[in-house]
Structure 1
């Protein structure tokens, strides 16, 4: 393996193997007095215990060697490494923590240092399902998600922990933790007319990034669910070829302007009363969402977004009768919400205060995203934030304050800071200081929070702060000494309009030498629902460009106009014109970077992207052959007619045919002059047909191209096929990107 490929592998799957510390997983004591966490490498792991009142930060275990010996005596196993032998810890009491060694759980008394093996369970009890670990652990099940394959999820626990909810065969099922038996809550569901409910992604929940969902009522007597009618929705074929006999599966995939699944909101009663359907009238061509239960558990707040995303209604619903009354509405000339946020993540921008008397609403009505406070009569009480600095999202609301993240720095508009504002009105207080992207994880009682931040060039650091932002103590700083890298650099360029500042990040090989010249590769996305240029250390969109750079290139990512996290006007560039900011802005970025940096080759650039990034890569290469020499489109979403995901930005094809015509890329096949590689998985029902159509368009236009087929792969590739994909990308760019004045790698 060459040094370049070793470096590629170091970054493509994240840097966790080479960077340790910085971001912590907090364990909060049940009495609200302490925070415990682990730090360091698996070989030399340490633990710390922090007093939440004073900030005193001391070793979790004073005598690690004695603890390791006690663990060996309790479990009969030699603990791995030299430090604390636990991957994770949690509090089992105010002064007791639990950890696992070799599959055996142990309890550690923090005062006496004593270690006890947790009571074991008989194998026969586990086999029969009567053991506590079986009855009280959520099981996996497959849940339906719009447009994609069913995904694994975990049962949803009731507030009192006596039951778990899941779905099977289109119905909601309850499993009792008392006897482990399951009973259906509904019986009239089918795969095409199914019941489902919202779930929090457990991985995001651990990181404090999951958005709240509304399902169980506060007392656990009711469950808010959806009844989704898929009848008439377009079904895309998915052909499975790898078994002895081919199998065809059809996946519901609503198309632009076509039949959309109809969603009704229901409330189920766990005591057996008939389900209650909320009275929302005709929900055709809308996205209704359960938003929040009132503390009393007898009413719900409901959010309804129009299919074109230009109108949102907020209602109050009676859980017993289904009656609703409107609270307030908002309309806009362009999209009010990002479609992906509502359709997939239930990130609706609506929050209930703890006392259940007021609502917080995120709106861009001023041209910038801000918080507005309403009462339950639908009266606007006051705006809580203002100015040309957009709010990101709300993370906690207590009786006095709203805690949120926001882009608070005009000089660094993509930095994300922590802030709070009084519900009663008043100035916004910024709670974080250092440049970078900050995130917060609150103690359960809200008295303190962990502030973790990073930049592309600075690995994560974590500190503990009081709720008012005052520093309690340092927690952890990442160690990058084993990374072997050249730190990335953030940059700005000017958009094609000649005035708008665009932000991006440059990535370099580990042995970068400014006196040499390197070919430039752009890693592109370009979709309207997210900004992707990394402004933190190890974001999902930093891995590919950082890895590509290790193969002997300089790589970059930039966000052009038509993407979020700036002003509404910046985002609205995509409205009715999918590529208006795409090609001009990204090509301008390449030209400015090459003019600015002598270490960049004069040769044309390469470009690679996945999903909508595949669309963008092709379009950049086709429209700007003077800028891009070679392009790779992976799992490309080429066809704007093929998915409902385009509608919030382009409208409907029967209403705005010109917007869809401008978004099409198949007609551009004839003008492609760059070298081109097309990659797609055969069971990616969302984009396999798009790829076939593009291959046909290129063949008819007489254009040579490569088509890499990944058998049995969906939209996201598994590790084996992903490795093959990147080897193909490496070979493709080695062949087609000219290297000038650069040492052999």
Structure 2
């Protein structure tokens, strides 16, 4: 294996593991007075304890060697490494920690240093469901979601912790902590007409990265669910070939212009009263979402979005009768929300104040995403934020302020800062300072938060701030001593319109030499629901772009027009013109990079992308063979007719036929002259058919290409299959982009 492949494997398998610290996982004490966290590698891990009032930051354990001896005495095991022997910690009391070493659960008294091993659970108790770890911890169940395979999820605990909710065969069931037995909350659900509820991953919620869900009423007496009627919706087949006999499974996959699953909203009563269906009228071609419970648990706020995403309505619903009244609506000539946000994540941009009397609403009516405050009569009280910059999302609301992330610095438009604005009206206060992408994790009482930030070239750093943004203390800075690299560079280029500034990031091999020539590879996405160019240390596309660079390339990622996180006009370029900004902008960036940098002046250019990135890679290569020499499409979504995901941007095939014809890729097969490779999993019901159709189109057009079949793989590949795919990709680009193979 060449040095380049070794570096590729090092980055693709564990770029994040080469850097430790900087980003912390806080444990907040139950009395609200302290923050504890672990830092460093297992070999020399440390712990810190921060007094939230004074800001004193001191070692969590006075003597780590003594702690390790106490752990050894309590468990009979010698902990690995030389540092704090715990991977995670939590508080069991104001001065008591709970941790795990191997299979042993421990408590640590922070005052005396005493380590106590908690009694081990009986294997029989665990097997029969009597053990605390079974009864009191959320268990896994298979959750169904739109368009995807059922995925493992964890039960949702009630507010008082007495029961957990999950779904089985289309019905909601409750599992009691007291005896671990389950009872159905509904009995009329089926896989075709099923009850579902929304979930946020607990870890994401703890980190402040998950979005609120609205299921349990505040007192735990009611449970909000939606019921999905899949009958008549198109089904895509999955053929599972790896067992002795083939198995065919059909997955519901609504197609553009076809029948959409019909969703209704319901409130279930845990004491046995009949379910209540909320009166939303005919919800055919509507996306309804439970938004929030009012504090008294008697009413809910409901969000509705039309199938074309151009109209949103907010209603107030009575949880007992199901009656509703409209509060306000918003309509737009283009989409009012990003379809993925509503369809998959229930990220609806609607927030209730803690007293339940006002609503915060995200709107782009001004041309920039801003916050508006409404009362529960639907009257606009005031616009809270204003400016030529977009709000990202609201992360906390208290009695006085809304705390949110935003792209406040338009000199660096993809930087993310934390800010707050008074609900009573007033100027926006920026709470974070340094350039980069900031995230915040608030203490439960909201008086302090952990501010973590980074840039592509600067590893994460965390500090503790008060709610007004004032610095309490430094917490952690990343250790990059094991990272042998050339730092990435952010860059700007001009879009094909000749005036709009685009932002991207360049990545380099570890032995980069400005005096040499390098091939160039673009890692592309181009979908309208996310911006992907990394502007933090570990952005979405960082790992792959870094790894590809180690094979002897310069790689880059850029966001062209038609993507979010900028102005509404920047995003709307995609509306009814799927590739309107894609090919012109990305090709223009390549040409500018080659003209700007001598080390790229003679570069052959490759492009690779996954999912909608696979669409983009093919289209760039097919339409601009003068720019792109080789292209790889992984799990590619080639066909705009194949999925409901296109509708918010293209309209419907019945009414916007030209937009669909322009977006279709199969007709471009006969003009492909670049080298081309497709990779797809055989059970990816979303894109397998697209791949097969493109292969047929290329064969009929007499175009050579390579096809990598990944057996039994869905839209995301397992680590073994992913490694195989990237080895094929590395060989493909080496063959077609490097001089020695020409």
TM-score range, shorter-chain basis? over 0.9
The answer to whether 1:675 aligns with 2:658 is no
Residue in 1 that maps onto 2:724: 724
| Distance in 2 (alpha carbons) for counterparts of 1:692 and 1:173 | 40
Matches within 5 A, 1:466-505: 466-505=466-505
Residue in 1 that maps onto 2:96: 96
Residue in 1 that maps onto 2:78: 78
- On the 8 A contact 1:601/1:739 being kept in 2, the answer is no
Task: Give the superposition deviation at 1:381.
Answer: 0.1
| Distance in 1 (alpha carbons) for counterparts of 2:290 and 2:117 | 44
Task: Give the superposition deviation at 1:4.
Answer: 1.2
Residue in 2 that maps onto 1:568: 568
Deviation by residue 1:224-257 (Cα, 9 ceiling, x = unmatched):
0011000000000100011111110000000000
Task: Give the superposition deviation at 1:14.
Answer: 4.3
Deviation by residue 1:629-655 (Cα, 9 ceiling, x = unmatched):
000000000000000000000000000
Matches within 5 A, 1:105-254: 105-254=105-254
Deviation by residue 1:250-303 (Cα, 9 ceiling, x = unmatched):
000000000000000000000000000000000000000000000000100000
Calculate the TM-score normalised by the size of structure 2: 0.99
Deviation by residue 1:333-377 (Cα, 9 ceiling, x = unmatched):
000000000000000000000000000000000000000000000
**Secondary structure, counterpart of 1:82 in structure 2:** coil
Residue in 1 that maps onto 2:64: 64
Task: Give the superposition deviation at 1:601.
Answer: 4.6
The answer to whether 1:646 aligns with 2:651 is no
- On the 8 A contact 2:533/2:539 being kept in 1, the answer is no
Residue in 1 that maps onto 2:332: 332
Mind listing any 5+ residue stretches in structure 2 that lack a counterpart?
Answer: none
| Distance in 2 (alpha carbons) for counterparts of 1:337 and 1:14 | 35
| Distance in 2 (alpha carbons) for counterparts of 1:470 and 1:10 | 39
Task: Give the superposition deviation at 1:102.
Answer: 1.2
**Secondary structure, counterpart of 2:537 in structure 1:** coil
- On the 8 A contact 1:683/1:713 being kept in 2, the answer is yes
| Distance in 1 (alpha carbons) for counterparts of 2:604 and 2:563 | 26
The answer to whether 1:25 aligns with 2:31 is no
Residue in 2 that maps onto 1:715: 715
The answer to whether 1:455 aligns with 2:431 is no
| Distance in 1 (alpha carbons) for counterparts of 2:697 and 2:420 | 53
Residue in 1 that maps onto 2:421: 421
**Secondary structure, counterpart of 1:248 in structure 2:** strand
Matches within 5 A, 1:447-596: 447-596=447-596
- On the 8 A contact 1:293/1:300 being kept in 2, the answer is yes
- On the 8 A contact 1:519/1:601 being kept in 2, the answer is no
Calculate the TM-score normalised by the size of structure 1: 0.99
Greater CA drift, 254-263 or 204-213: 204-213
Task: Give the superposition deviation at 1:543.
Answer: 1.0
CA distance 1:320–1:484, change in 2 (3 Å): same
| Distance in 2 (alpha carbons) for counterparts of 1:295 and 1:436 | 37
| Distance in 1 (alpha carbons) for counterparts of 2:123 and 2:255 | 51
Would you say how many aligned residue pairs link Structure 1 and Structure 2?
742
| Distance in 2 (alpha carbons) for counterparts of 1:717 and 1:203 | 23
| Distance in 1 (alpha carbons) for counterparts of 2:322 and 2:189 | 20
**Secondary structure, counterpart of 1:249 in structure 2:** strand
Matches within 5 A, 1:689-708: 689-708=689-708
Residue in 1 that maps onto 2:597: 597
Deviation by residue 1:467-525 (Cα, 9 ceiling, x = unmatched):
10000000000011101111000000000000000000000001111111100000000
| Distance in 1 (alpha carbons) for counterparts of 2:312 and 2:541 | 31
- Runs (4+) of structure 1 exceeding 3 A deviation are none
| Distance in 2 (alpha carbons) for counterparts of 1:129 and 1:711 | 37
| Distance in 1 (alpha carbons) for counterparts of 2:634 and 2:79 | 44
Residue in 2 that maps onto 1:734: 734
Mind listing any 5+ residue stretches in structure 1 that lack a counterpart?
Answer: none
Residue in 1 that maps onto 2:54: 54
| Distance in 2 (alpha carbons) for counterparts of 1:41 and 1:603 | 40
**Secondary structure, counterpart of 1:17 in structure 2:** helix
| Distance in 2 (alpha carbons) for counterparts of 1:553 and 1:688 | 30
Deviation by residue 1:596-626 (Cα, 9 ceiling, x = unmatched):
0011151431000000000000000000000
**Secondary structure, counterpart of 1:736 in structure 2:** helix
**Secondary structure, counterpart of 2:296 in structure 1:** coil
